[in-house]
Amino acid sequence: MTSPGTSDESSLATIRACFELGINHLDTAYMYGRNGESERLIAKALGKRRDEMVIATKGGLRREGDRFIHDAAPSTLRRQCEESLRRLGTDRVELYYLHAPDEHVPVAETAGELCRLLAEGKTRSVGVSNVSVPQLEEFAAECPITAYQPPYNMLRRQIEADTLPWCRERGIAVLVYWPLMKGLLAGKIRRDQTFGRDDSRGSYDLFRGDELLKSLDLVDRLREIAEAAGHTVAELVVNWTLHQPGITAALCGAKRPEQIRETAGGAGWRLTDEQLAEIDRALARRGTPQIDLPV
């Protein structure tokens, strides 16, 4: 809801399309949109059907101009949580995340406040996002963790070496963002693509030069595999993500109803062993990006 090319009308229609698709989980955050636009649009779209949707929001991060400000002080988290509830028009959310840790605030202090919000019923469960294994351990010592939300996709798989196994061992749900790598793995980006000044992708090396061309070569091969299976590239990529060991859900952004309908098509079926092997070979040819990916 903060991306270029969005409008209130398309955002509302996209949220409402979730009901017809069987999607019952919406993920948002205090900082999404201008002045809480994302949370307010969710409230407007759901109306009297709020109880049919599992809502997750996040606190501890805010935007000031083009900068992200990390502020996970207990008082800030309480204020942001209560403001998020007012925007969403509800007395609780099903899941409240620490959006990102704050190097100036001990993780234990942050966790303690989220545990108090849990005890007060303002959230029914607590999650963490963008944290390391030591931070997960420090947080879990103070507050039970239900969910972990990291970036993860075919090109960004670092969690497989550390945080994902940690969560699997403890039965913690892992809901990943950027499964389509900001549209790169959705099959919609052209080789001559240019990004406007208000599109953050233009600032990432992954979306420029040889790294972009290697990724688009990968997408071309994924398209061949997807079409042979009767699916789109986005459906194939989402399906691959959902069936990686330990992954609970893939959080797919969408600007328009047709986009969420396509990514919803990634569920309800499974890639065959042969198709998975073909994907593995394509990923091996592409190679791991030799750059820092965005977070």
Catalytic annotation present for 32:
yes
What average pLDDT score do residues 107-132 get? 98
Cβ atoms of 260 and 252 within 8 Å: the answer is yes
pLDDT at 4 exceeding the cut of 60: no
In the chain, the domains with their CATH numbers are 8-183+233-267 (3.20.20.100)
Catalytic residue among 32, 96, 148, 204: 32
Cα dist from 238 to 147, 243, 256, 260, 271, whole Å: 19, 9, 17, 12, 11
pLDDT band at 97 (very low <50, low <70, confident <90, very high): very high
pLDDT at 208 exceeding the cut of 50: yes
Q: Which helix (H) or strand (E) holds 173?
A: strand 173-177
What average pLDDT score do residues 127-148 get? 98
pLDDT band at 2 (very low <50, low <70, confident <90, very high): very low
pLDDT in tens, 147-206: 999 999 999 999 999 999 999 999 999 999 999 999 999 999 999 888 888 888 888 889
CA atoms of 19 and 88, how far apart (whole Å) = 18
Cα dist from 8 to 2, 15, 31, 57, 246, whole Å: 10, 11, 17, 19, 35
pLDDT in tens, 17-39: 999 999 999 999 999 998 899 99
pLDDT band at 1 (very low <50, low <70, confident <90, very high): very low
What average pLDDT score do residues 89-118 get? 98
CA atoms of 118 and 94, how far apart (whole Å) = 10
- Average pLDDT of every residue of the chain: 95
pLDDT of residue 59: 98
